[in-house]
Structure 1
């Protein structure tokens, strides 16, 4: 219980009174992009500055290299066929690892220019791929490859699964970052983490109405403090679990902060997993943490998750 901060009685029923925060692994340089493989009973995540993805096995606790030689991998997800989709921040592209081990480039350019540095990604039930493209990976040689920006701004994109067409769905955010659909996919939540590099910029979540292959009206759902919102996930009841500098914040669908999971390192991202999908895995700077909850995450993609 020491890891939980209950700010509203509604949070108490989402946590287990005997659960605790576990540290599964350390020694990352900047851990990000966790994704659960239910069929393999393992967690895969990115260690961005070290150009690699690592794997933790649930049955043994062993950690090993999942994939090396990458260009600053960041957020990942699985599509409806169970294939891994990854934002390669330094490579300025979105990749899909096929079942035979080959790699397909899903997106690397738009409007005659290279993408900035794809950050996080989610796959909708229709197979469309939605991802954010801030410029973090081209303003630094630490988490990317420093380079000139070729896009007109930092956008959110949708990739059509049938045609491969890449379209801008949001063009008015400072630094779009983590994103997640509501359980019924009627809302897309997107983090704006512009405050990280510009203290006059936002550090909030926006909620967008989903209108088929486009986004409609939006509203600021909540400001995240301390720090910025980065990665986020949604549970089956619609609660948002959002990364922050003091841990993971739990918000209602209306944006009310009802509780926190306190983590001793700055949290970058998170995902649900485990045999019952009630285990929250957290990537936090150098460490990988987990905690069991009294709720389950939305399984956006394949049942293999």
Structure 2
């Protein structure tokens, strides 16, 4: 275990030599803010150097100004928002549990509903979202937001399953792309977009359920998913949200911090945190700062790689 870390319970665990090359050995994990109930969905806005993320149970979104380190309220109520991302035009895309929809915040502040139904039936509770280079929005739809009033509103599923969907950038059609997940959760593309990684957190409500990330081959036209296999099994808790760096390494949330995986699925090392991690994203002016949403707090560390 590395001795680095300004907070008790933080540091780096090197399991493979490659992980050491991802670290800046003068760098330490920082806790930037605390005071949430469940931090999720970090999204980086490069134009104004801010990070936006969700505090789901408190029904609010928060904003970090990297220039001065201040944290302020971004949106409340926030419809128990969960996952967020930024599209190719710099607009915020958000998964909302309470309204059971995926929305886009336009540059003038107005919201556009991108998806709230599939085949006429309401979605469960969109969870995480990613944008393909062709402009298509891909999102997961487990049932967490309709299981209780804590992170949404208790309700029955109209679809009766938890799926992965694609929103067509031209027509706006919502297409089902994967229907064999128990609880699809975080998702991200490989750098060349030939693979879509999707976490399955079925073990959250079934001890025998999945606790892994799957890799699914993306079709040549970028519209469908093909061959699928398990990429990695979580060794501590459950995977939730994750991101992929420019060399194809996957940085995944877990119960004991962030786990870094090589493109071939080898666990390279861990960033240890004292709280359960829900999601991460790369940001900063050089996209070499990993922001980590961990239960009640926002953490960050500079790395020798970029997102």
Q: Which residue of 2 aligns with 1:77?
A: 85
User: C-alpha separation between the residues in 2 aligned to 1:70 and 1:125?
Assistant: 27
2:74 is equivalent to residue 66 of structure 1: yes
Q: Which residue of 1 aligns with 2:273?
A: 263
Which of 38, 42, 52 is 1:44 aligned to?
52
User: C-alpha separation between the residues in 1 aligned to 2:22 and 2:40?
Assistant: 24
Spell out the pairing of 1:85-234 with structure 2 (5 A cutoff). 85-211=93-219, 212-234=222-244
User: C-alpha separation between the residues in 1 aligned to 2:68 and 2:88?
Assistant: 27
User: C-alpha separation between the residues in 2 aligned to 1:235 and 1:74?
Assistant: 22
User: C-alpha separation between the residues in 2 aligned to 1:197 and 1:152?
Assistant: 16
User: C-alpha separation between the residues in 1 aligned to 2:79 and 2:154?
Assistant: 12
Pairwise CA distance, 1:152: 2.8
Gaps of 5+ in 1: 298-305
Pairwise CA distance, 1:89: 1.4
Pairwise CA distance, 1:166: 0.4
User: C-alpha separation between the residues in 1 aligned to 2:99 and 2:280?
Assistant: 23
Pairwise CA distance, 1:175: 0.3
For the residue of structure 2 that corresponds to 1:50, the secondary structure is coil
CA RMSD of aligned residues (A): 0.7
For the residue of structure 1 that corresponds to 2:47, the secondary structure is coil
Pairwise CA distance, 1:113: 1.1
Q: Which residue of 1 aligns with 2:293?
A: 283
User: C-alpha separation between the residues in 2 aligned to 1:5 and 1:276?
Assistant: 24
Pairwise CA distance, 1:271: 0.1
Pairwise CA distance, 1:144: 1.2
For the residue of structure 2 that corresponds to 1:116, the secondary structure is coil
User: C-alpha separation between the residues in 1 aligned to 2:205 and 2:27?
Assistant: 36
For the residue of structure 2 that corresponds to 1:16, the secondary structure is coil
For the residue of structure 2 that corresponds to 1:39, the secondary structure is helix
For the residue of structure 1 that corresponds to 2:277, the secondary structure is coil
Which of 257, 265, 282 is 1:272 aligned to?
282
For the residue of structure 1 that corresponds to 2:197, the secondary structure is strand
